[in-house]
């Protein structure tokens, strides 16, 4: 379930957020039809905790406030939990802004900086200047270092590329793998300091950019957003050093999924749009010679359609979806299965149930028993469609989807069970309620 971002713009809600009055926030959500159970599921609290807060218990702990803001999709600046003002400007240590509440906990500085850094860094990568303001400096993780070769050879680059392929396959099969991918990405980046031929170094830049994007994706899959944004930022920076605009778009495509799934739709749209802009050379020449451009721009169109559909803009979403289908050229079965999943997700959001079922079934069929992580997501979506439609197979599909999710080390896939649980709750009958309980239990269990 995603809460309409417009709720946070209402005057009474803005005052409650500014005062960090969580009880008033919850009462405001009830007034717009959000149930106590839904609030509990989104915030990771028990219903008894939500009930106590509604009755007047104050929430003071910083980490609890941050978790509530994240779960409900509240812009953190509204509660004074970030260094970013409500107007989007940056408020550093020596600056002030006319926000409602000032930051009080320095632990949040890096979290918020990492969340926004990927958006801020992309225009610098493309044009040497920022469209959105000051770019924060991000410290690199403190990993162990080893001996470097005296000269860079293609064997070093291709060995790194082969390792990326194996780790990506492992992540698709089981989810997670963030620590391994992060360590390999950071260690491999040290090869940039080794001298070598220009062509070899250019190939290294592309591989390293893709490796950092995969590391960011695995951290996102594990529920670690700030680490994900760190690696996405590194990916755009490396790709920019070597002028690899495809890898810039590739990183921005993945980076945009994070705010999309956290309810920050404006941020996701910016990232997807920047990904498309990255293919536009400064001299205005065509890039029609690169066969990767059309599938990537189509993918970015469809992702924008997902964001627009969630923002309640069906006309614009349908227009972007039509543009995506016009450009789409499936480079492989993985990309086609992923495209079918996106089409199903958008159609469900637009309440086009029959279309959603067709595309979700195609995605499930394409994945089969391989690549368990994306296959589980497709099964969850197909079950959600059937339950919403009231189809008899819905309960069996839901059970299969929940079972598939339990076998993965993927926080992201497990969280996708929450919308399925909401649909199950709407239906009458003990089987539906028990499946909803199981889905929520799996969704809220960290692995």
- Which pLDDT score is estimated for 17? 87
Those residues whose C-beta lies under 8 Å from the C-beta of residue 91, and which sit 6 or more positions away, are 83, 84, 85, 97, 99, 103
Any long-range contacts for 279-285 (C-beta under 8 Å, 24+ apart)?
279/245, 279/246, 279/249, 281/245, 282/127
Q: How far apart are CA 170 and CA 343, in angstroms?
A: 26
Contact 126, 240 (CB under 8 A): yes
- Which of 54, 76, 106 lies at the terminal end of a domain, its last residue? 106
Q: Is the pLDDT of residue 127 over 90?
A: no
The model's pLDDT over 67-120, given as tens digits with 9 standing for 90+, comes to 898 889 887 767 766 533 444 333 333 333 233 333 333 334 455 555 566 666
Contact 9, 36 (CB under 8 A): no
CATH of the domain at 74: 1.10.260
Q: How far apart are CA 71 and CA 80, in angstroms?
A: 16
For residue 59, give both structure tokens. Answer: 């929430």
417 domain residue, yes or no:
yes
**CA distances for 330 relative to 293, 324, 333, angstroms:** 12, 12, 7
Contact 103, 80 (CB under 8 A): yes
205 domain residue, yes or no:
no
Q: Is the pLDDT of residue 272 over 70?
A: yes
The model's pLDDT over 244-268, given as tens digits with 9 standing for 90+, comes to 999 999 999 999 999 999 999 999 9
Identify the residue whose tokens are 């819905």.
394
- Over residues 183-207, the mean pLDDT reads 92
- Which of 63, 89, 106 lies at the terminal end of a domain, its last residue? 106
- Which of 87, 106, 125 lies at the terminal end of a domain, its last residue? 106
Q: How far apart are CA 256 and CA 239, in angstroms?
A: 17
CA-wise closest residue to 214 among 243, 183, 181: 181
Round to the nearest angstrom and report the end-to-end CA distance of the chain. Answer: 22
Q: Which residues on neighbouring strands pair with residue 84, listed in sequence order?
A: 90
Print the domain residue range for 377. 334-447
280 domain residue, yes or no:
no
Contact 405, 438 (CB under 8 A): no
CATH of the domain at 348: 1.25.40.10
Q: Is the pLDDT of residue 60 over 80?
A: no
254 domain residue, yes or no:
no
For residue 205, give both structure tokens. Answer: 């830049």
DSSP string, 257-326: HHHHHTT-HHHHHHHHHHHHHTTS-TT----TT-TTHHHHHHHHHHHHHHHHHHTT-HHHHHHHHHHHHH
313 domain residue, yes or no:
no
Record the pTM. 0.69
In which region does residue 351 sit, left (phi positive, over 0), alpha (psi from -120 to 50) or beta (all else)?
Answer: left
307 domain residue, yes or no:
no
372 domain residue, yes or no:
yes
The model's pLDDT over 385-415, given as tens digits with 9 standing for 90+, comes to 999 999 989 999 999 999 999 988 899 999 9
Angle at 64 between CA 62 and CA 67, to 5 degrees: 110
Contact 18, 78 (CB under 8 A): yes
Please count the structural domains in the chain.
Answer: 2
Q: What values do phi and psi take at 90, rounded to 5?
A: -90, 135
Q: What is the DSSP letter of 121?
A: H
359 domain residue, yes or no:
yes
């Amino acid at each position: 379930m995603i809460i309409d971002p417009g709720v946070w713009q209402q005057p009474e809600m803005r005052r409650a957020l500014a005062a960090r009055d969580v009880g008033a926030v919850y009462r405001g959500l009830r007034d717009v039809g959000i149930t106590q159970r839904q609030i509990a599921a989104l915030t990771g609290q028990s219903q008894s905790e939500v009930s106590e807060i509604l009755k007047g218990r104050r929430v003071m702990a910083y980490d609890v406030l941050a978790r509530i803001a994240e779960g409900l999709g509240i812009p953190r600046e509204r509660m004074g939990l970030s260094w970013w003002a409500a107007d989007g400007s940056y408020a550093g240590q020596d600056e002030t802004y006319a926000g409602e509440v000032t930051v009080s906990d320095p632990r949040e500085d890096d979290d918020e900086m990492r969340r926004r850094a990927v958006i801020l860094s992309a225009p610098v990568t493309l044009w040497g200047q920022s469209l959105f303001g000051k770019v924060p400096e991000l410290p690199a993780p403190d990993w162990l270092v080893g001996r470097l070769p005296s000269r860079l050879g293609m064997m070093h680059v291709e060995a790194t590329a082969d390792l990326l392929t194996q780790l990506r396959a492992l992540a698709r099969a089981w989810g997670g793998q963030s620590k391994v991918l992060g360590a390999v990405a950071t260690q491999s980046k040290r090869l940039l300091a080794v001298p070598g031929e220009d062509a070899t170094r250019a190939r290294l830049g592309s591989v390293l950019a893709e490796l950092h994007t995969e590391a960011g994706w695995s951290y996102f899959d594990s529920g670690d957003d700030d680490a994900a944004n760190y690696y996405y930022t590194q990916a755009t920076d490396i790709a920019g050093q070597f002028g690899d605009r495809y890898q810039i778009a590739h990183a921005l495509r993945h980076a945009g999924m994070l705010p999309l799934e956290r309810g920050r739709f404006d941020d996701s749209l910016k990232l997807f749009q920047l990904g498309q802009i990255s293919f536009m050379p400064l001299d205005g020449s065509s890039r029609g010679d690169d066969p990767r451009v059309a599938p990537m721009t189509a993918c970015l169109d469809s992702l924008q359609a997902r964001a627009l559909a969630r923002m309640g803009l069906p006309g614009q979403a349908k227009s972007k979806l039509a543009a995506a289908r016009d450009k789409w050229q499936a480079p492989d079965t993985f990309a086609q299965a992923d495209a079918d999943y996106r089409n199903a997700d958008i159609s469900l959001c637009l309440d086009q149930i029959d279309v959603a079922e067709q595309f979700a079934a195609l995605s499930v069929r394409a994945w089969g028993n391989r690549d368990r992580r994306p296959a589980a997501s497709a099964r969850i979506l197909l079950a959600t469609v059937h339950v919403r439609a009231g189809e008899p197979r819905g309960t069996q599909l839901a059970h299969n989807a929940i079972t598939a999710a339990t076998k993965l080390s993927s926080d992201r896939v497990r969280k996708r069970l929450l919308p399925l649980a909401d649909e199950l709750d709407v239906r009458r009958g003990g089987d539906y309620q028990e499946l909803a309980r199981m889905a929520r239990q799996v969704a809220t269990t960290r692995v």
